[in-house]
Amino acid sequence: MKKLIILGGGTAGTMMANKLDKLLDKKIWSITIIDKDTIHYYQPGFLFLPFGIYEKKDVIKPRAKYIPDDVELILSDVDRVVAEENQIFLADGRTLDYDYLIIATGTEIRPDQTPGMLGEEWRKSIFDFYTFEGAVALTEQIKDWNGGKLVVAITEIPFKCPVAPLEFIFLADAFFSEKGIRDKVELTLVTPMSGAFTKPIATKKLSQLLGEKQINVITDFYIEHIDNENKKLVSYDEQEVSFDLLAIVPMNMGNEVIARSGLGDDLNYVPTDKHTLQSKAYPNIFVIGDATDIPTSKAGSVAHFAGEILTENLLSAIEGRPLTASFDGHANCFIETGFGKGTLIDFNYTTEPLPGTFPYPIIGPFSLLKPTRLNHIGKLLFRWMYWNILLKGRELPIDSHMSMAGKKEMTV
Amino acid sequence: MAQATLATYSVEVNEEGYMLQPDQWNKEIAEAIASELGIKLTNKHYEVINYLREQYAAGNALTIRKVGQSGITDIKGLYVLFPKGPLKYSSKIAGIPKPASCV
């Protein structure tokens, strides 16, 4: 028997298990997926918890339910991968051999990397919204909050879902408006980048929206430490931003198992060919999702589009053929803008988010870089699509490669 | 894309003044860009600039954190050398394209 192991049972890993379960001949291949715990979280939903749009039950499902019957699920911490020997050492002492390995270990928040983040105020006035526990704790805090300075801050780039902090602050604007206390809340976005988003046209459109909603933006602010006593963010060049409530995006790093295995860069991301998705160091290792170092967003949509390419290339590698499928960095993200509206961006390695309609010219139905009711409905429908289409490795009616159809070329 | 005259050299730059051809760069150009930014270049500045150029030539992505771990200076030191723009300004002076931040 030949063995394929998938390391990580999150969005990318589960999707790959489902795709390959259908394509690999089980008389020849066994597929094993390893994860450390039993719950699969719908991570895009964390953002909706603090504002009462989703409840806890909306974002939690048993991990095993989404793993095909023929795929073995091992629940264990992993000590390390020894890639030279094609072996994985589990924390419980077991050793597994593989012929091919797919690394899908994701990215994690690391509040421990910034002095003061895990201080006195952690989960009192400082919260993350990238973990279930963080989002739940913030929900409790925000419910009875009477106003003051709410700061949403990004610590370091890259980070998972670069639109999430924007969505958070748009949703906060709507939440406090509906509560009738928006005039008592000062909203500020703090970012180490030079603008609200990374790409010029999207930044221009989103900055307009932030301005209309009276949300302050502080750019080029690189957090050095958090002063718990005075509730202040302090930057490396000694600027300060004070807060009453801080929703922080802590530094992101790849899983520690990548570091222990010597497979990562300085942020524990695995050096990966950005077109073939093969590890740069080992031809029998492929990498998908947030675990890679490829220069596109760390987002579920990217994992989905990359999944189709990885599947094709893995099958080619197994059969000794050249890897001809090429990933273009395609990302597609709905951005909630509050009050029942959302906007949408669609881009890749070389084309920045542009205005227009999606996926079809003129008829859309979705609008790019423009807040509409339909985009919001698209975001809500996405949760159903996530559990029923995306995770199960089924095709979406959207091409893996980004299309220019419906997009309007423009310059800033 | 545009042409700019820096020191006495005609070089290709983008709309923000970042050089597009790192091999057109030389120290006189670096001094000219630095003085526009109000920065007086010292040996320490050049250590950072050379590191950036080497990393860029090797195809490695650059972040403030990475430069801070280079052993040349830490992040605070980088802010002292290139106030307001530790990576943006140092890259501009080093004659390499503006580093792409996250995507």
The tokens for A43 are 């991570």
> What is the architecture of the domain spanning A2-52+60-109+253-318?
3-Layer(bba) Sandwich (3.50)
For B38-80, the pLDDT digits (tens) are 999 999 999 999 999 999 998 887 888 889 989 999 999 999 9
Answer yes or no: is B100 within a domain. Answer: no
pLDDT score at A38: 95
Q: Has residue B102 got a pLDDT over 50?
A: no
SS3 call for B30: helix
Strand order in the sheet with A71-75: A71-75, A29-35, A2-7, A100-103, A285-287
Are A222 and B83 a contacting pair at CB < 8 A?
no
Q: Is the pLDDT of residue A25 over 70?
A: yes
**Structural domain includes residue B39:** yes
How many distinct structural domains can be found in chain B?
1
Find, among A132, A137, A139, the residue nearest to A172 by Cα. A139
User: pLDDT per residue over A228-262, tens digit each?
Assistant: 999 999 999 999 999 999 999 999 999 999 999 99
Q: Report the distance separating Cα A56 and Cα A137, nearest Å.
A: 12
What pLDDT band is residue A24 in, cutting at 50, 70 and 90?
very high
Name the segment(s) of chain A with CATH classification 3.50.50.60: 2-52+60-109+253-318, 111-251
Does A118 have pLDDT greater than 60? yes
Please say if the pLDDT value at position A412 is more than 50. yes
Q: Is the pLDDT of residue A12 over 50?
A: yes
**Residue predicted with more confidence, A194 or A116:** A116
ipTM comes to: 0.82
pLDDT of residue B103: 42
CA distance A335 to chain B (A): 15
CB A33 within 8 A of CB A17: yes
Predicted confidence at residue B16, as pLDDT, reads 86
Q: Give the pLDDT band of residue A197 (cuts 50, 70, 90).
A: confident
pLDDT at B101: 59
- Residue B84's pLDDT band, with cuts at 50, 70 and 90, is confident
In this structure, of A17-31, A176-190, B34-48, B87-101, the range with the lowest mean pLDDT score is: B87-101
Q: Chain A closest CA to B81's CA: distance in Å?
A: 11
With a cut of 60, say whether residue A212 has pLDDT above it.
yes
pLDDT digits (tens, 9 = 90+) for A121-164: 999 999 999 999 999 999 999 999 999 999 999 999 999 999 99
Q: Is A119 exposed, middle or buried (0-12, 13-18, 19+ CB in 10 A)?
A: middle
Residues of A with a Cβ under 8 Å from any B Cβ are 156-159, 162, 192-194, 198-199, 220, 222, 224, 236-237, 266, 293, 295-297, 329, 331
Q: Assess if residue B99 is contained within a domain.
A: no
CA distance B102 to B64: 12
Q: Which residues in B lie closer than 8 A to residue A237 (C-beta atoms)?
A: 79, 83-84
Residue B102 lies in a domain: no
Chain mean pLDDT for chain B: 90
**Section A187-207 average pLDDT:** 92
The whole domain housing B28 covers: 2-94
**Highest CATH level, class, for A111-251:** alpha beta
Residue B97: both structure tokens together? 């394209």
